[in-house]
Amino acid sequence: MPDLVPGRTNGVDIIWMDKRLDQVERRCTLTHELIHIERKHVGCQTASVELEVCLETARRLIPIETLASELRWSNCPDELADELWVTLDVLKDRVRGLTPDELALLVATEAQVH
């Protein structure tokens, strides 16, 4: 893609993706763009809309139960993202978007491990 974005959509029925993306990046980008299509987003979106799409992408790709399970053995974010088959940015978005109940589950899981 000429402007270095990994993907974009017309908001209706077409998704374009950078040919240089690896499989994990394609998975994350495709999910992100499909959410834009679901929400009928056409054209550039505001930063707040993009943030909500990023957070929803992370929620869909990383179920909280899976995150809790994988946190039991991994303390390295890069390793955790790799195991979850997402980019580090998607993992960060998942953590950023944790609900209070999800955070409590992760804290309880961590307490069981240590």
Radius of gyration of the chain measured on its C-alpha atoms: 15
Which of 38, 37, 35 minimizes the C-alpha distance to 93? Answer: 35
pLDDT for residue 84: 97
Residue 44 amino acid letter: C
Q: What is the pLDDT of residues 43-62, one digit of tens each?
A: 899 999 999 999 999 999 99
* Percent of the chain at pLDDT exceeding 90: 83
Give the tens place of pLDDT for each residue, 5-35: 899 999 999 999 999 999 999 999 999 999 9
Name the pLDDT band for 73 (thresholds 50, 70, 90): confident
- The percent helix, strand, coil of the chain (3-state, each to 5) is 60, 5, 35
Asked if the model's pLDDT at residue 111 lies above 90, the reply is no
What predicted TM-score, i.e. pTM, was given to this entire model? 0.91
Name the amino acid, one letter, at 38. Answer: E
